[in-house]
Structure 1
Amino acid sequence: MLTTIRNARDFIVYRKDLSQYQFVSTEIEENLKSGQVLLKVDKFALTANNISYALIGETLGYWDFFRTVEEAWGCIPAWGFAEVVCSKKDNVAKGDRVFGFVPMSTHLMLQPDVVTQEGFVDGSLHRVNFPMLYNQYQLVKHDPFYAPEYEDHWALFWPLFMSAFVLEEFLNENNFFDAQAIVISSASSKTAIALAFLLSRKQSSQCQVIGLTSSGNLSFVEGLGYYNQVLTYDQIQLLNCDLSVVYVDIAGDRDVLSNLHHYFQNMRYSCLLGATHWKRLSSLEINPTLPGPRPTLFFAPEQIHKRVQQWQVNGFHKRFGKLWSQFLASTSEWIQVVHSPGKAAVERIYLDMLAGRPKPDEGQILSLWEVE
């Protein structure tokens, strides 16, 4: 008997204006083709990182992961947990729980390629050219680092910590460009916190970690203990302009970028890792006359591929896993997870994120499933 899921739903946004959005109802046939797997998206995290995916969606292809009927609209990718509700793929069973790249939707259809004990790679034709990071789905029952009580923290931090991990390795490989300080904007963001955590543990004695944040988040960032010094954006002049620095731009704010490049006379390296201040983007509008090194987009998947080639898969997981476990355990000291299920909650939290109103000590876990 053919079964149809009639309560499937997607949250989509207008690509050219992220403030326009809609919920779209769809129907899904459970009569899958051979090799297909249908997932029920249980929950996903929404952070400033998701907004970054949307902002550079055209440039780096993020709109193409989860295609919509109308090309002018797109589904913002997220990281979350899902359950297999129907499978026609060997070694992927109904009830299996997976973690990976998911749409802000109730369901996701995948075409797993090679399946191992650890998980599988989606082999859908429209995704074959994307970095492996985004196409891998972990079967958590076999993941040695998985703990059910940390699922929410996993969804919130895993991709951000991964980016911070490979950036720290890149900086370390380059001897931190012989800089005296690493300056990180949007210091209260989860990516910045992950990077500061790593730098605080492995930094050389002469290389300080300096965080830039808003006045409202100053005390929170100072309380983390990961930064040697925390300043507000209007306090940059308190630093010596001759200080040799590496700038990690997570704010993506063109004014902050310009101020730093003009102020520091000895900037060694400048990279963009995020866009939390997305309304004042610098990433795609870099002034060619900006003094100092040209800001570079740091694309984490390329660095992950490089490290896997260098260390092999097991070596990469061993290095990453040790630090990930330590960081994961520390997050409960300063983050409060907020569960917000249902359409109304997704709409409210999305608009807050778009307006830059998220609280740094909160992590939003969303779901398009209504509370029964």
Structure 2
Amino acid sequence: MQQIHVDQKSIAHTELTAEDSASLAEGEARLRLQCCALTANNITYALAGFDLKYWSFFPTQAAGKGLVPVWGVAEVVESRSEVLEVGARLYGFYPLAEELVMTPQALGEKGVVDRAAHRAALPGLYNHYGRVTGDDPHRDHLRALFQPLLATSYVLADWLQDNGFFDAEQVIIGSASSKTGLGLCKFLSESTPRPKTIVGLTSAANKGFVESLGTCDQVLTYDAVDTLAHVPSVYVDMAGNAQVKAALHARLADVLKHSAAVGISHWDQFNPGAALEGPKPEFFFAPAQIAKRQKDWGPGVIERKIAESWTGMAASASEWLEVKVHHGLAAAPAVWDAIVAGKSDPREGHIIVFDAD
């Protein structure tokens, strides 16, 4: 069984390793991955791996090496559980590896939850797996790419609305060309009420692309932060670029109502200890808002809204997205390297397909 180990202190370093598959205990099931997505979201998982416990989901025996979580679809290939039959297919949170052994417990008719002992204290959202019906690889690929990212986008938009946009006139999205950023811009532009102004920040290379989607009222490059309107604002940062964040905080210090940290796509320019003017950035944790809405709205409502949001955007993604399929786990390091180096094109979505033996 092959895995990709990532150096936990220097995430640009990866290693393709192989080890024997463990025998199943009573109640366990073995799932073989069929596909998974690799995006900037996975970079955030690696960088926040200790603070937000992402390294704890799939522990390794290799000191200083971790398995980065990915979203994808897998098939049950062996089972000693009454809950999961061989041939069942599940979408969810997997290691960047060929297989996962889980301890499934039924979660209604549509899914299971992994009750492995080491996952008991981890955020429950990531332990839930949904059954996938049909046999449509392209839909599986879109699900792996969009469902986790657009779920975050939708929950962010809902959280901003839930907080009255913090009484801000403009919402500024850093790394607006990221898929989570694109989703947030779209959901905010369609929300009622909506912010008076939605501003997307992006690189000069991606400015035209973000403008072409028509979901931002204004698109600025990172070096134009000093031209932002000096009005009550919220900053939602997908990039984690310390220099841009410092410039934005300096520009809007006295009118910045909230600064939210979501992603770290500019990981090499991330400096969480940097002194900033204005409010201290707070990390946005989507499971907390989901848990709040589960209490506010009752069982299943937020999950239905999230599903509707990602499927709607995925349906229109063919207008601008090219799905790049890479075969075999051995292809993953090159994709990872490109994303880490900031060389991935926002118009592309990268899928690792685990070809059948």
TM-score range, shorter chain: over 0.9
Give the Cα separation in 1 of the matches to 2:123 and 2:99.
22
Task: For 1:1-372, list aligned pairs within 5 A.
Answer: 8-29=1-22, 31-141=23-133, 149-204=138-193, 207-240=196-229, 242-264=230-252, 265-282=254-271, 284-287=272-275, 290-367=276-353, 369=354
Structure 1 residues 343 and 93: alpha-carbon distance in aligned structure 2, compared to 1, 3 A threshold: closer
- Amino acid aligned to 1:49: N
Q: CA deviation at 1:238?
A: 2.8
Q: CA deviation at 1:237?
A: 2.9
Q: CA deviation at 1:344?
A: 4.3
Structure 1 residues 206 and 167: alpha-carbon distance in aligned structure 2, compared to 1, 3 A threshold: closer
Q: CA deviation at 1:370?
A: 5.7
Q: CA deviation at 1:117?
A: 1.0
Q: What percentage of aligned pairs have identical amino acids?
A: 37
Contact 1:286 1:295 in 2 (8 A): no
- Amino acid aligned to 1:37: A
Unaligned 5+ segments in structure 1 are 1-7
Aligned equivalent of 1:5: none
- Amino acid aligned to 1:231: L
Structure 1 residues 67 and 94: alpha-carbon distance in aligned structure 2, compared to 1, 3 A threshold: same
SS in 1 for 2:212: helix
Structure 1 residues 370 and 326: alpha-carbon distance in aligned structure 2, compared to 1, 3 A threshold: closer
SS in 1 for 2:36: strand
Aligned pairs, how many? 356
Contact 1:341 1:371 in 2 (8 A): no
Q: CA deviation at 1:321?
A: 2.8
Using the size of structure 1 for normalisation, the TM-score is 0.91
- Amino acid aligned to 1:309: K
Contact 1:47 1:364 in 2 (8 A): yes
Unaligned 5+ segments in structure 2 are none
- Amino acid aligned to 1:13: V
Give the Cα separation in 2 of the matches to 1:127 and 1:91.
18
Q: CA deviation at 1:32?
A: 2.1
Structure 1 residues 229 and 191: alpha-carbon distance in aligned structure 2, compared to 1, 3 A threshold: same
Give the Cα separation in 1 of the matches to 2:307 and 2:333.
34
- Amino acid aligned to 1:150: R
Give the Cα separation in 2 of the matches to 1:276 and 1:206.
25
The C-alpha deviation readout for 1:317-370, integer Å capped at 9, x for no partner, is 332233233222122221110001124421211111111110000000014x46
Contact 1:342 1:371 in 2 (8 A): no
Q: CA deviation at 1:268?
A: 1.0
Contact 1:200 1:226 in 2 (8 A): yes
The C-alpha deviation readout for 1:71-95, integer Å capped at 9, x for no partner, is 3110111000100001111131111
Structure 1 residues 286 and 271: alpha-carbon distance in aligned structure 2, compared to 1, 3 A threshold: farther
Give the Cα separation in 1 of the matches to 2:214 and 2:140.
25
The C-alpha deviation readout for 1:270-316, integer Å capped at 9, x for no partner, is 1000001000114x3242xx222211000111111111122122222
Aligned equivalent of 1:4: none
Q: CA deviation at 1:243?
A: 1.5
Using the size of structure 2 for normalisation, the TM-score is 0.95
